[in-house]
Chains A and B, each alone.
Chain A
Amino acid sequence: MTTTLDTTRFGAFGGTFAPETLMAPLFELEREWKRWTADADFRAELASLLQHFAGRPTALTHARRLSRELGLELWLKREDLLHTGAHKLNNTLGQCLLAQRMGKSRVVAETGAGQHGVATATACALLGLDCVVYMGAVDAARQRMNLLRMELLGARVRVVEHGQRTLKDAINEAMRAWVGDPTETHYALGSALGPHPFPSIVAGFQQVIGEEARKDFLARTGRLPDAVVACVGGGSNAIGIFRAFVPDASVALVGVEAGGEGVGKGQQHAARFAGGEPGVLHGCYTYLLQDDDGQIRPTHSISAGLDYPAVGPEHAMLHDEKRARYSWATDAEALRGFEALAKGEGILCALESAHAVGWVLREREALSGQHVLVNLSGRGDKDLETIASLRGPEREGA
């Protein structure tokens, strides 16, 4: 069975640029995903797990002090309150349940910040599946608590020592593992990227975020937000909240990429829309950070989860259609966002999510008086060591 090209694409983007060995497993995955997500029992079981295991629906919080301070109405969709501390569990519960229905005994996954790895290990423990997680050595060092969490949950963590030793290299290794055993293994890709059908599968399992947020926002305020803001690495939390608002023309959609040291020449970052051009990486055609020769460029971000050279293809389409706007926040702006939310609202958010908050702080003038909904994709416990190491000299001097 082959798939026609148009169903694999988002506008010009996406597609299935995969090694031949993976084509049959990808077709199988597409068939089974369509079959089971239309199945009443599957849907009921997933809904039950999301409610009684993961803790959905998550809260919608009005950030009262920050709203007053910034002169706008700031609302937070609290994916940080989901079990395991990030939105990633929405996707892994869905994919691991699917893997179980497909008769797979083993799940492999990549992880950057460790959140997708922890969420995969959690779903595998819950469902009795064997779990192997690939993690770059740089990320394993800066997120060692998450590495420990995965191991405690029964997963085997393979530390990837080559390439840039971050998320990109972990995906390379997870794909290689899948090529080696596509019959028994399911690859639970963690973001809305990779070859078709992954971008659609992941977005489909994450769109619950926006469905809940839109409904709650309307019920609480009697109106829609003026802007919905989310950080974008691969882009799963962002597409998860955007999808429900795409038909609402009055709602501005803003994706915030990792600006790293800054997006100027010679500065390292992971802002694909600011410095990238379309190309093919990890199975899909999308915006990439690459050099003139088509080699993938090194990236930098303070947050491991945004430290990736490609963006999900649905975002590439929303960008080119001008339905969503993509901006960036630097490491320093993300840290300001983190502190503002901690001291102003009593929430320690993930450094990834802090990019969205940092963008709101920077754009406060332009957003004056508006209702702004930020997707708080995860909590910040995993980042305490990173932040402590940055604060070290400052505290000594104080």
Chain B
Amino acid sequence: MSAVDKLELRLRALRATGRKGIAPYLTAGDGGSDVTLAVLRELADQDVPCVELGLPFSDPIADGPLLQAANDRALAAGTTFEEVLEILSRFRRGGRGELGRDLPVIVMSYSNPLVRRGWGNAVRALARAGADGLLVADLPIEEAGAMSSAARMAGIAPIFFVAPTTSEQRMTTAIQMSRGFVYAIGRLGVTGARTELDDAAQAFLARVRQVAGGLPVGVGFGISNASEVGAALKHADLAIVGSAFVEHVHQAVSQAAPPRRLDAARVAAREFLQVLSGGLPA
């Protein structure tokens, strides 16, 4: 089974049962590779529907202050593209007695680190390391021809964004080009922006839901607590939690004594996920 099928089947199955889920985001290498790996393993144990793994970039223009800081920390820790591949491969190889190695991982990147290697090479390398999907924050559908065909060839799901400003026609195209799910940006602004998912946002999400048909819908940008998870999942299948999740784990790791960092990361990830789960529909 290709990664595309794995991701889409898993999310469609979730959708078919009427269940909805939380998809955490983490920046690869934030706190070091071992912390990232520990969090991924914890999320696999918690059986989240999928996870977004950010490839750090020096100039993340779509991100707010918390994820900018996470990108800076990851780069300062020496996280390279190769290192992210290594994290993914280690996660896929798994450890003794570990379950959940089939947790779908969606790599989230900016264009330049991938353009640097060439879309074909970069996407093939990600697929080989075990990525299931790819999201590129500054790659709209107009520029995505090379990425899209490289992803199809490599058996990895290309995922595109729709925003409240997106026209009907673009929304249709973005959904047709997406595999696995379509990523709806719940509100204007960068990641971590804190405004309510108001009536206009809900109307937008209802519109995405309608156009998407059977394709699952993920909502992200600014979801940080259980009630926002609940609001996001009114029309969508996945609530993507980035800034708040990253910051929660970062605080726990930075306050832990060095030998306890990996445990602290796992505990923080588990506990925060439990808090957010309060917003899941019964």
A-to-B contact residues, CB < 8 Å: 1-3, 5, 8, 15-25, 162-163, 168, 172, 175-176, 179-182, 278-283, 285, 288, 290, 292-296
**Given the complex, which residues of B lie within 8 Å of A5, measured CB to CB?**
142-143
Q: Which of A24, A168, A280, A293 contacts B111 (CB 8 A)?
A: A280
Contact of B137 with A by CB under 8 A:
yes
Distance (whole angstroms) from the CB of B81 to the closest CB of chain A? 6
Contacting pair A19 B143 (CB below 8 A): no
Contact of B114 with A by CB under 8 A:
yes
Contact of B42 with A by CB under 8 A:
no
Contacting pair B61 A20 (CB below 8 A): no
Distance (whole angstroms) from the CB of B124 to the closest CB of chain A? 16
Q: Looking across the interface, which residue of chain B has its beta carbon closest to that of A3?
A: B142
**Given the complex, which residues of A lie within 8 Å of B185, measured CB to CB?**
20-21
* CB contact under 8 A between A179 and B111, given known A3-B142, A162-B68: no
Contacting pair B116 A279 (CB below 8 A): yes
Measured between alpha carbons, how far is A163 from B162 in the docked complex, in Å? 28
Q: Mark B1-32, 1 if CB is under 8 A from A, else 0.
A: 00000000000000000000000000000000
* CB contact under 8 A between A282 and B165, given known A19-B137, A21-B185, A162-B72: no
**Given the complex, which residues of A lie within 8 Å of B80, measured CB to CB?**
293
Measured between alpha carbons, how far is A328 from B110 in the docked complex, in Å? 30
**Given the complex, which residues of A lie within 8 Å of B75, measured CB to CB?**
295
Q: Looking across the interface, which residue of chain A has its beta carbon closest to that of B57?
A: A295
Q: Could you list some 5 contacts between A and B, CB below 8 A?
A: A5-B142, A5-B143, A17-B140, A20-B163, A20-B185
Q: Looking across the interface, which residue of chain A has its beta carbon closest to that of B114?
A: A294
**Given the complex, which residues of B lie within 8 Å of A288, measured CB to CB?**
112
| Besides A19-B140, A20-B162, A24-B166, 15 new A-B residue pairs in contact (Cβ under 8 A), listed by A number | A3-B142, A15-B143, A19-B137, A19-B138, A20-B174, A21-B189, A23-B166, A24-B165, A176-B189, A179-B62, A280-B110, A280-B115, A294-B115, A295-B112, A296-B112
**Given the complex, which residues of B lie within 8 Å of A180, measured CB to CB?**
188-190, 193
B-to-A contact residues, CB < 8 Å: 57-62, 64-65, 68-69, 72, 75, 80-81, 110-117, 137-140, 142-143, 160-167, 169-170, 173-174, 185, 188-190, 193
**Given the complex, which residues of B lie within 8 Å of A162, measured CB to CB?**
65, 68-69, 72
Contacting pair A17 B188 (CB below 8 A): no
**Given the complex, which residues of B lie within 8 Å of A2, measured CB to CB?**
142, 169-170, 173
Distance (whole angstroms) from the CB of A139 to the closest CB of chain B? 17
Q: Which of A21, A176, A279 contacts B163 (CB 8 A)?
A: A21
Q: Looking across the interface, which residue of chain A has its beta carbon closest to that of B136?
A: A17
Q: Looking across the interface, which residue of chain B has its beta carbon closest to that of A4?
A: B142
B interface majority secondary structure: loop
7 closest pairs, A vs B, by CB? A294-B116, A294-B113, A24-B165, A20-B161, A180-B189, A280-B111, A21-B163
Contacting pair A295 B162 (CB below 8 A): no
Contacting pair A282 B61 (CB below 8 A): yes
**Given the complex, which residues of B lie within 8 Å of A175, measured CB to CB?**
61
**Given the complex, which residues of B lie within 8 Å of A282, measured CB to CB?**
59, 61
Contacting pair B58 A24 (CB below 8 A): no
Q: Which of B58, B62, B68, B117 contacts A295 (CB 8 A)?
A: B58
* CB contact under 8 A between A281 and B59, given known A5-B142, A293-B113: yes
Distance (whole angstroms) from the CB of A310 to the closest CB of chain B? 10
Measured between alpha carbons, how far is A175 from B189 in the docked complex, in Å? 10
* CB contact under 8 A between A172 and B59, given known A19-B137, A180-B189: yes
Contacting pair A179 B188 (CB below 8 A): yes
Contacting pair B115 A21 (CB below 8 A): no
**Given the complex, which residues of A lie within 8 Å of B59, measured CB to CB?**
163, 168, 172, 281-282, 296
Contacting pair B162 A181 (CB below 8 A): no
Distance (whole angstroms) from the CB of A304 to the closest CB of chain B? 18
Measured between alpha carbons, how far is A363 from B139 in the docked complex, in Å? 42
Distance (whole angstroms) from the CB of A11 to the closest CB of chain B? 16
**Given the complex, which residues of B lie within 8 Å of A281, measured CB to CB?**
59, 112
Distance (whole angstroms) from the CB of A299 to the closest CB of chain B? 12
**Given the complex, which residues of A lie within 8 Å of B60, measured CB to CB?**
172
Q: Looking across the interface, which residue of chain A has its beta carbon closest to that of B111?
A: A280
Contacting pair B116 A17 (CB below 8 A): no
Measured between alpha carbons, how far is A179 from B65 in the docked complex, in Å? 14
Q: Looking across the interface, which residue of chain A has its beta carbon closest to that of B162?
A: A20
Measured between alpha carbons, how far is A278 from B142 in the docked complex, in Å? 19
Q: Looking across the interface, which residue of chain A has its beta carbon closest to that of B80?
A: A293
Measured between alpha carbons, how far is A22 from B138 in the docked complex, in Å? 10
Q: Looking across the interface, which residue of chain A has its beta carbon closest to that of B81?
A: A293
Measured between alpha carbons, how far is A163 from B112 in the docked complex, in Å? 17
Q: Which of A1, A24, A172, A290 contacts B116 (CB 8 A)?
A: A290
Contacting pair B58 A296 (CB below 8 A): yes
Distance (whole angstroms) from the CB of B113 to the closest CB of chain A? 4
Contacting pair A24 B167 (CB below 8 A): yes
Measured between alpha carbons, how far is A295 from B115 in the docked complex, in Å? 11
Measured between alpha carbons, how far is A17 from B81 in the docked complex, in Å? 20
**Given the complex, which residues of B lie within 8 Å of A293, measured CB to CB?**
80-81, 113, 116
Measured between alpha carbons, how far is A99 from B59 in the docked complex, in Å? 27
Measured between alpha carbons, how far is A182 from B72 in the docked complex, in Å? 27
Contacting pair B140 A16 (CB below 8 A): yes
Contacting pair A172 B188 (CB below 8 A): no
Distance (whole angstroms) from the CB of B162 to the closest CB of chain A? 7
Measured between alpha carbons, how far is A179 from B138 in the docked complex, in Å? 12
Distance (whole angstroms) from the CB of A308 to the closest CB of chain B? 12
Contacting pair B142 A163 (CB below 8 A): no
**Given the complex, which residues of A lie within 8 Å of B138, measured CB to CB?**
17-19, 280, 283
Measured between alpha carbons, how far is A290 from B263 in the docked complex, in Å? 36
